[in-house]
Amino acid sequence: MESWILQNESTLRLTAFVLVFFAIAMWEWLSPKRKRLKSLTIRWANNLSLMLINTLLIRLFFPMAAVGIALIIKKQQIGLLNLIEISPVAAVTLSVILLDCAIYWQHRLMHKIPLLWRMHRVHHADPEFDVTTGLRFHPFEIAVSMIYKTLTIALLGAPVLAVLIFELLLNAGSLFNHGNINLTAKIDTVLRRVIVTPDMHRIHHSTDAIESNRNFGFALSWWDYLFGSYQPTPTETHEKMPIGLDEYREPKHAVFLTGVLSIPFINAHKKTRD
Ligand SMILES: [Zn+2]
Ligand SMILES: [Zn+2]
């Protein structure tokens, strides 16, 4: 089982990514929540190029991938779950839940620590909110995230299967909860009891600093309820709420790849209106 996962990890992840990406993109096209401001092409080309760069860098610098790390941890018999008596099903379930909790805290730290915020603001500087926003992360943030994930897997002793499920869940979750898709209020209410919905995560992309410090969850919605960072609705309507970072409104920063990559190094200032 474990060697099968290791051999097929990239294929599984790529297949899941392509299926979920096209499903959400189609959904956005058929039933969008917000009106799009500009043509998609340039923004999508830049956000997708950033994802490709990140994928290549991850393969280059972390060829082992998170599942490979989980296998080494198991062989070494380190990590909490390898030290206690626990059924395999319970170990997998618990690991997926706790890994998601760890990512929630990583996200909070990304907003709290100035150095990390420099990297994470690349994600927030996207002037719109759609499926490609879920792929828009600076390579430095991806690297920090990979190291943090490795340490969490080691500390937990998370099983290989749990790490695979978690990676699939996190990637699919990021595409879904950034989708510019119309869900009825009823479905949204039911879903957000367990998972982060686009209406919940959109609030986190508000230009308002109070709102962007709410709703940090990526896959499970529970952590925001539990740790007091939940905001159910935006101050403005979902359709009208301003999204992005006012300091990085110009297309050279907000949209084009070279500018997007330079955001951690540039302290732009909010433009005052005449
Ligand atoms: Zn954030
Ligand atoms: Zn986001």
Q: What is the pLDDT of residues 58-74, one digit of tens each?
A: 888 876 777 778 888 87
Q: How far is the CA of 160 from the centre of ligand 2 (A)?
A: 27
Q: How far is the CA of 207 from the centre of ligand 1 (A)?
A: 11
- Round to whole Å and give the CA distance between 26 and 127: 21
Spans of the chain below 70 pLDDT: 37-38, 63, 270-274
Q: CB neighbours (10 Å) of residue 69?
A: 20
Q: How far is the CA of 162 from the centre of ligand 2 (A)?
A: 23
Measured from the alpha carbon of residue 106, the closest ligand is 1
Q: How far is the CA of 6 from the centre of ligand 2 (A)?
A: 29
Q: Which residues contact 143 (CB under 8 A, 6 or more apart)?
A: 57, 61
Q: How far is the CA of 9 from the centre of ligand 2 (A)?
A: 25
pLDDT at residue 6, rounded to an integer = 75
Task: Give the position of tokens 């309820």.
Answer: 225
Measured from the alpha carbon of residue 130, the closest ligand is 2
Q: Which two tokens stand for residue 59?
A: 């393969």
Closest by CA to 124, choosing from 188, 212, 40, 198, is 212
Tens of pLDDT, residue by residue over 105-150, are 999 999 999 999 999 999 999 989 999 999 999 999 999 999 999 9
Predicted TM-score (pTM) of the model is 0.91
Q: How far is the CA of 74 from the centre of ligand 2 (A)?
A: 32
Classify residue 175 by burial, with Cβ atoms within 10 Å: 0-12, 13-18, 19+: buried
- Round to whole Å and give the CA distance between 89 and 161: 10
Measured from the alpha carbon of residue 218, the closest ligand is 2
Q: How far is the CA of 166 from the centre of ligand 1 (A)?
A: 19
Q: Considering the chain, what is the average pLDDT of its residues? A: 90
Q: How far is the CA of 203 from the centre of ligand 2 (A)?
A: 9
Q: Is 267 left (phi over 0), alpha (psi -120 to 50) or beta?
A: beta
- Backbone φ, ψ for residue 243 (5° rounding): -120, 145
Q: Do residues 32 and 180 touch, judged by C-beta distance below 8 A?
A: yes
